[in-house]
Amino acid sequence: MVAKSYLPYYAAGKVIAGFGRGSKALGCPTANLPEEVIEALPAEFETGIYYGWASLEKSIYKMVMSIGWNPFYKNEKKSMEVHLLHEFENDFYGKELKVLVLGYVRPELNFASVDELITAIHSDIDVAAKSLDEPLMAKYKEDSFLSS
């Protein structure tokens, strides 16, 4: 892991509809945060994959998040897509999602195929899950930002 001076970082916003690829094409549903949350990121906040804790409807979950342009899909808009490490039965558009970003996994990359992208996503999820089990990161689950 690479230490980033702007972490931990706190953000919150109402979940919006994204590109519709997470669940369908990649098997990894994401909750997308609105433009104003993305625009509020500090200038030094690098694109890439991050991990941390997220709060949704008074429950706290491990999360992995992509911030950037998704080069494989050639996005023209920067996005902030959060994958909660939990299975949900329903979508939660319009619900407030709080994220506490703690660590950086890797830079944003392009991939030769959707299979390569899916493999990277699974690796990112494993890194996030293991990292958040570390005592230094696990303690942040109790941060008052997530429970307020």
Classify burial at 85, counting beta carbons within 10 Å of its beta carbon; exposed 0-12, middle 13-18, buried 19 or more: middle
**Long-range pairs of 129-137 with CB within 8 A, sequence gap ≥ 24:** 129/62, 129/85, 131/1, 131/51, 131/102, 131/103, 132/51, 132/52, 132/53, 132/62, 132/102, 137/102, 137/103
Rounded Cα gap, residues 132 and 97, in angstroms: 18
Classify burial at 30, counting beta carbons within 10 Å of its beta carbon; exposed 0-12, middle 13-18, buried 19 or more: buried
The 8-class DSSP code of residue 13 comes to E
- List, by residue number, the catalytic residues: 81
